[in-house]
Amino acid sequence: MFACGRTANVEELGLEVAEIEFDKKGVLVNDELLTTNSNVFAVGDCIDGPKFTHASGEHARTVIRNALFYGSVKKSSLVIPYCTYTDPEIA
């Protein structure tokens, strides 16, 4: 498993050597967060999806469960809350 911060560019990680595919949105993963290399998971800001700390944490928990229990949790089933702040406030 690897995680990259917002400042990291996936193009600079040398993923081609590990046969991990990516595009402009990030590392390509399936619904169990496995990359195109079946031995590597990817989570967080380097994959397509919400770029929140709590999303990365939920991805990490999903990967741990999938690594130990062989794909029992799907990324598509995660409920990741978020909100939008406005100024002035809207109720």
Domains of the chain: 2-77 (3.50.50.60)
79 pLDDT tier (thresholds 50, 70, 90): confident
Given a cut of 60, whether residue 1 has pLDDT beyond it is no
Query: Which one, of 15, 18, 38, lies nearest residue 26 by Cα?
Result: 15
Residues 52, 79 contacting (CB under 8 angstroms) = no
7 pLDDT tier (thresholds 50, 70, 90): very low
Given a cut of 60, whether residue 16 has pLDDT beyond it is yes
Task: Provide the pLDDT for residue 3.
Answer: 54
Answering whether pTM is above 0.85, one says no
Task: Provide the pLDDT for residue 17.
Answer: 92
Where are the strands (E) in the chain, listed by range? 2-3, 22-23, 26-27, 42-43
Task: Provide the pLDDT for residue 8.
Answer: 57
